Structure 1
Amino acid sequence: MNHSTTPVLSVSPVTLAAPDRGQDLQVRVTAPTAGRDLPVIVFSHGMTLGMDDYAPLATFWAAHGFVVIQPTHLDSLGLAPDDPRTPFIWRIRTEDLTGVLDQFDAVEAAVPGLGGRVDHDRVAVAGHSWGAQTASTLAGARVIGADGAPGESQADSRVGAAVLLCLPGTGGADLSPMAAQYFPFMSPDFAELKTPSLIVAGDADQSPLTVRGPDWFTDGFRLGSGATDLLTLFGAEHGLGGIQGAHDTRTTDESPERVALVQRVTLAYLRTALGLDAAAWPEARAALAASGEPLGRIDSK
């Protein structure tokens, strides 16, 4: 599984038109300097983070042959509570990701030497925390409305795989009063989550958003037919060892070993799920199972 790594180029901000959003969409693009037919990962950040975070993941994925596109969502731009967009931020986040997919050509043109090297048919979405919920909507998850019915599907047929890190679980009685008040859209319906997806959860991720324990973050695996695999990290909290990178001081469980495991396992999953290397995922699962002191375990349906 030791692929050679390639030097990486990162360009930001790349500005994409977003006419209905109130302001343009800014993204960071991280890409290998060599290689052709490069698959794509569009990554959605957690609450109030941005395109400059998650460098440990973006740089690793790019060094192993992926183009990584990271938008900055509106929740990181300090919208006022009475801004008319505020109640719809969760939906606009999804539109940010589809907007990136719609404007691949502009993304390519903004990065020197990237034109003509991107495989538009091999696309994954990924995200952490609220960003995992955002990414999951392109994989088929829906949001249950105030009427108790799942909202319209925002699944995107261009997306072939998803990596969902600390994906928020079911809503209703499982939400804390704080979450129910401020994040009523954290009420997912996973019945149509059919795109091949890897869920990553920490077994010490005790969230203020839920009255349940860390297993709340495994609901997507339990309930979504496309969520075929679950990586549980032992002792990991919400930062999964520090995947957000150095800019985010909230990581409470700093562990370079954990971050390295997330890097390796997510890469292997995507390489197999997108049809690049059929052996990558079985090898990663076997390697983790065989390691003497494993940092986690993989469950597969």
Structure 2
Amino acid sequence: MNFRTVAELVEVAESENLSISEVMIRKEMKDFNKPREEIMRQMAENLDVMEEAIHRGLNEEVASQSGLSGGDAQRIRKYMKEADVLLSGADVLDAVSRSMAVSEINAAMGTIVATPTAGACGILPGCVFTAADRLGSDRETMVRALFVSGAIGYCVANNAFISGAAGGCQAEVGSATAMSAAAVVEMAGGTPSMSAEAVAIALKNMLGLVCDPVAGLVEAPCVKRNAMGGSIAMVAADMAMAGVKSVIPTDEVIGAMFRIGRDMPTSLKETALGGLAATPTGRAEERRIFGKSEK
């Protein structure tokens, strides 16, 4: 069950006639010397935390202390119920609202599961719970989807970055989007190769995304980037299920992300020194929140 790249992961899965989730479950059992029941139970607990965060974000009045985030997930839900939405069907907006709900809970210091980071925590739960509604998935299928995402995150972390400080937001929201796309593909009955294609399609559309948090807080533009990551993940999954393939292989896309992150200036890697954080409004918000004087 050893693998380090996505290509190796797919090779193991397909040569053994296993799903990606099963490969990852067996790897976890071996690496941590725990029985299957314990490994599954721990991941099921993560799923429960995700579900609670979605519920709170969609049903409670949640706002961050800074006032930069809160309530947008509920605005999307209200819009879905009351307006003629531009998208055909509500599935993408379901993923968007759920992704934002969890991200807003994070900004309000609630309990979340980092997937792979707190800044990108909304995308995976948003996609998994939306896909489950659409597909009628049982709980085990949803838990297995988390193992799929973990396997992809493991490959990304081994070959590139998963933190904004190291590689920009492409490393956080980009990785989460790719992980979520792969997870949804397996939920929908896709092959390991299709999951890998979904990773490539999702991630290459996030390349170059900078990490520029206003006032240094994981709120703006982070919450809305979770929303867009959720939508991209769902579209990438559908594209892969349709048989669309990435011209650039998955591991080469991850390698490109690594090189882009390496070359990205420090001002665009979670320092709040550039990008949106350095706009006049961004600086004004920083002064308002932290009481800094005009320079």
Query: Relative contact order: is structure 1 or structure 2 higher (C-alpha 8 Å, sep ≥ 6)?
Result: 2
TM-score of the pair, normalised by structure 1: 0.27
More strand by share: 1
More helix by share: 2
